[in-house]
A and B are shown apart, each in its own frame.
Chain A
Amino acid sequence: MTVNGVEHVRDVEPRLLLVHLLRDELRLTGTHWGCDTSNCGACTVWMDGLPVKSCTVLAVMADGRSVRTVEDLEGPFGLDQVQQSFMDCHGLQCGFCTPGMLMTARKLLDDNPDPTDTEIREAISGQICRCTGYRNIVAAIRHAADAEAAGRGDT
């Protein structure tokens, strides 16, 4: 499998969860674990470009696939806009849900560069934040959409 562009070859137990492979074996601890049941979304990563909850994906299911985690968001030219906007809009407090929220936000904006607030709320509705009451997360994603539109020269 490929994780953040780097190829990894591993022998794993069939039952090993993707989240544990990422965290315990590859030491990519930015992806968090929160609930076991796909409810909280702290473990959200991309698999072949689609957000998945890595606590309910077996590592073997990622065989031959491409996985992207929060550690890959920052590029050579700095933070991804969603990272910057979460900072600018106080879209995080304890930081535990943040990596998952960022991965979903990035996917949303890639697919829909100008989402409505309702679309933003729907996009993150499979993820739980216990600190922010979501308002500033929604504002941060909106902020990122606007900043990226400005960067593209959209009017």
Chain B
Amino acid sequence: MTGTLDACAGPGFGPVPRKEDGRFVRGRGRFVDDIALPGMLHGAVLRSPYAHARIRSVDVTAAESHPKVRAVITGETLAARGMAWMPTFSHDVAAVLATDKVRYQGQEVAFVVAEDRYAARDALALIDVDYEPLPPVVDARLALALDAPVIRDDLADRTDNHVFDWETGDPDATAALFARAAHVSECDLVYPRVHPAPLETCGTVADFDRISGKLTVHATAQAPHAHRMLYARIAGIPEHHIRIIAPDIGGGFGNKVGMYPGYLCAVVGSIMTGAPVKWVEDRSENLMSTSFARDFHMHGEIAADADGHILALRVSVLADHGAFNATAQPSKFPAGFFGVFTGSYDIAAAHCRVTGVYTNKAPGGVAYACSFRVTEAVYLVERLVDVLAHDTGRDPAELRMANLLTPDRFPFRSATGWEYDSGDYPRALRTALDTAGYAGIRAEQAARRASFEKTGKGPLTGIGMSVFTEAVGAGPRRLMDIMGLGMADGAELRVHPTGTAVLRLSCMSQGQGHETTFAQIVSHELGLPVDAVDVVQGDTDNTPFGLGTYGSRSTPVSGAAASVAARKVREQARQVAAVLLEVAADDLRWDAGPGSAEGGSFSVAGVPGVSVSLREIAMAAHGGLDLPEGVEGQLAATTVYNPPNLTFPFGAYVCVVDVDPGTGEVDVRRFVAVDDCGVRINPMIVEGQIHGGLADGVGMALMELVAFDDDGNHLSASFMDYLLPTAMECPPWELAATVTPSPHHPLGAKGVGESATVGSPPAVVNAVLDAIGVRHADMPLTPAHVWRALQGRPIRPDIAIR
């Protein structure tokens, strides 16, 4: 299944300008903090200054006497409602407001509702909490020590900080291949804790109507329907009385999947006061308390024969899950999809063991465009391949080319049991190397290196690459669920009598451009203009049930649902057309046409000139036509798409950096990205998604880090400390594409939202280490880290520099 970009041609597809842009460039987007309801109050959260402490008492008397304060909520208030704890996505519970102990710095302790946002903040200072500080567990590697303080003494019989053990692959077959390998390389790799940091923080406006008993929640929710069920379960409000409205979302990247205490406290605040309550976190709150990502401490081993053929991989991982196990991922996958760590290579055997531990840090774990830990898996294997190349004196491009899976192997079942749907990896890597001019840069690198050795002056040039395989579009339902909800998505399409349409979706854009892409899917299937299709999303009262947008799911799952619903409508239209034209339905041929307002048309096979357009059919379907039994007088369909498998987008990236050996400063000079996400519905939007992910990769590789000191103090709680790439750190990305359609997706499409975030960090790290000739150093490769690595003293990044 290989193809060219022509596979993306077709009615409706192409670089259509986005429908959503008109409101955003005018400042007329409607984000959650833009909402002002009559009588609305404002909430603020009091947070723990300690990483680990027992709460002796909470005195709210002074706060309650503040003239503008309308309610103060503590853990005790919530406990009286059975809401002090909430279930997590990963078989655990998490505190909503702390009752017994605080378990990380920034944890929610109390919630104030006041007449304005300044007064709410003022009142926080009037709450008196008596803490008894406890020793914290900060270093994940010490979490299982016999004398480690037990963080989760709220759980019965808990005597340690162990969360889970999980393994995949065949340990015996792997050991056998390692035993006969000519060469084994091993490496410790830290994928440090980072944060998705969408530019809009998380927030909500909760509005409980005491008369109807109806709760309306306007919230930054990537998964509105899953949230509705959570509110029902946690707050005890019947699900049919809950409406979740996700307005425009200012970036999500996984940060807005989870349920946060602030959302629930705003609900309780609205119930208590009878007024709508807005709560929007500030940047420090966002960075300190909401879903982080990664924090994987990995030990990898790679075995190869004397010719450089990779035989086997063996990995052990210590996963820091923070104080509550709240990773937002399919519930049967405690390490997410890390099991795809054999990557893009033909590897006969592999084995991996992951141990999760509690620490005194914020919960979360898979957020930040990672496709459920494929990011960590790709980083592991792409770094190990470079370490193998380093240790055996091979060129990393040649080593990869010799080990990549070839197109004839697809569908391919990996050593850890994943069935890759389609791929042509050598073509992607060849395209990337050719686009970059690999041989020329290697020659330039050698000249720079020679000059450095003669003069001691830089810069040093480095070339890094990665060939990644993504795994996106969860489910199927039988394997993948979130809190018992199978991972599928719904779509509902209605063609109006005058031939325009409305498509209702269960997924929710956070900037991906669903209003445009999904209208294009309907346009493709029905021949209607893109502008004739309105897309409704993010409102549980007006959309079908489904699991939402994260893990690059939207196009693979909801996109397929939209396509299937549109095809159902087309078949209804065929039945109506058969009555209109007085022929058998089977004799009608569909033609999508040029995308005019008439839509596509059915014509009678072999009878030129006899046809009827979708617009004519739509009017007729709602008119006085005598329709046969079983044909409804409408053009409308609904579907639930349960994907048969994940889709496996892939790509090859080449990064070129210049490193100043005197300062350790890295300049990402070029970045070539060849992505294959199957058929591209809107190539402009696809490329935009890739651009954003590449910036994420540069950020994680070079700048981004959530660090802690020995006391568990969060050292990255503002954008002055948590560094994000600006236009100065990002090169003008050079993109190229190959197209290998997915054989099981109705449109041949695969997800792409996270490909570049997954694929780019190892390419950048490999490039920097290639420049400085160092075997391994951990991210983020800040100037200080690079300089120390050059001195032969690399820094451990995840704890504070002493």
Contacts and interface: CB of A to CB of B under 8 A. Distances in A.
Contacts of B201: 34
Interface stretch (B14-22, B224-232, B338-346): B14-22
Interface string B679-703: 0000011011111111110000000
Interface of B: 17-18, 20-31, 33-34, 36, 117-118, 197-201, 248-251, 253, 282-284, 510-513, 684-685, 687-696, 718-720, 724, 726-728, 730, 732-733
Contacts of B727: 120-122, 124-125, 134, 137-138
A130 B251 contact: yes
A109 B83 CA distance: 54
Contacts of B36: 24, 27
Contacts of B724: 39, 128, 130
Interface of A is mostly: loop
A47 interface: no
Contact of A83 (B25, B200, B510, B728): B25
A135 B691 contact: yes
A96 B730 contact: no
A71 B248 CA distance: 18
A70 B365 CA distance: 37
Given A29-B34, A125-B727, 16 more contacts: A24-B36, A24-B117, A27-B36, A70-B25, A71-B26, A87-B17, A93-B692, A94-B510, A95-B24, A96-B511, A97-B199, A98-B25, A120-B727, A121-B727, A130-B198, A133-B690
B688 A70 contact: no
Contact of B26 (A30, A40, A42): A30
A86 B25 contact: yes
Contacts of A16: 118
B406 to A, nearest CB: 32
A73 B284 CA distance: 32
A37 interface: yes
A2 interface: no
A82 B728 CA distance: 21
Interface string A76-96: 000100011011101011111
A125 B689 CA distance: 21
Interface string A24-43: 10011111111111011010
Contacts of A42: 199
A113 B253 CA distance: 35
Contact of A88 (B17, B117, B695): B17
Nearest to B35: A29
A149 B512 CA distance: 32
Nearest to B734: A135
Nearest to B509: A94
A83 B728 CA distance: 22
Contact of A94 (B511, B719, B720, B733): B511
A54 interface: no
Contacts of A10: none
A28 B282 CA distance: 20
A154 to B, nearest CB: 24
B22 A132 contact: no
Interface of A: 13, 15-16, 20, 23-24, 27-37, 39-40, 42, 69-71, 73-74, 79, 83-84, 86-88, 90, 92-99, 102, 117, 120-122, 124-138
Contact of A132 (B18, B253, B691): B691
Nearest to A89: B684
A98 B732 contact: no
Contact of B27 (A71, A93, A130, A133): A71
B728 A125 contact: yes
B554 to A, nearest CB: 13
Interface centre among A37, A94, A134, A136 (most CB of B within 10 A): A94
Nearest to A137: B727
B200 A34 contact: yes
Contacts of A79: 25-26
B719 A40 contact: yes
Contact of B726 (A31, A90, A99, A125): A125
B732 A135 contact: yes
Given A69-B27, A99-B27, A93 B688 contact: yes
Contacts of A92: 21, 24-25
B733 A36 contact: no
B511 A93 contact: yes
A30 B28 contact: yes
Given A34-B200, A96-B31, A87 B719 contact: no
A122 B730 CA distance: 12
Contacts of B513: 93
Contact of A131 (B20, B31, B33, B688): B688
A117 to B, nearest CB: 7
Contact of A32 (B28, B31, B511, B688): B31
Interface centre among A24, A34, A122 (most CB of B within 10 A): A34
Contacts of A84: 25
Nearest to B280: A33
A133 B695 contact: yes
Contact of B199 (A31, A34, A135, A138): A34
A70 B27 contact: yes
Interface centre among B34, B684, B687, B688 (most CB of A within 10 A): B688
Contacts of B720: 37, 39
A100 to B, nearest CB: 10
A31 B27 contact: yes
List the 7 shortest-distance A-B pairs measured between CB atoms, nearest first. A30-B27, A94-B511, A95-B24, A96-B250, A133-B691, A39-B719, A133-B695
Contact of A37 (B26, B198, B718, B733): B718
A35 B695 CA distance: 19
Contact of B197 (A24, A32, A94, A130): A130
Nearest to A102: B25
Contacts of A121: 727-728
Contacts of B692: 93, 130-133
Contact of B251 (A39, A69, A74, A94): A94
15 contacts: A23-B33, A29-B27, A30-B28, A37-B718, A40-B719, A71-B27, A83-B25, A93-B692, A94-B511, A95-B20, A95-B29, A96-B198, A98-B25, A99-B27, A133-B733
A128 B726 contact: yes
Given A32-B250, A93-B511, A95-B24, A135 B733 contact: yes
A112 to B, nearest CB: 16
A95 B250 contact: yes
A87 B27 contact: no
A71 B36 CA distance: 18
A36 B719 CA distance: 9
Nearest to A127: B726
Interface centre among B31, B199, B249 (most CB of A within 10 A): B199
A31 B28 CA distance: 10
A96 B719 CA distance: 16
Contacts of B688: 90, 93, 131-132, 136
B730 A36 contact: no
A40 B27 contact: no
Contacts of B199: 32, 34, 40, 42, 94, 96-97, 128-130
A74 B26 contact: yes
A84 B267 CA distance: 40
Contacts of A74: 26
A56 to B, nearest CB: 12
A134 B693 CA distance: 11
Nearest to B688: A90
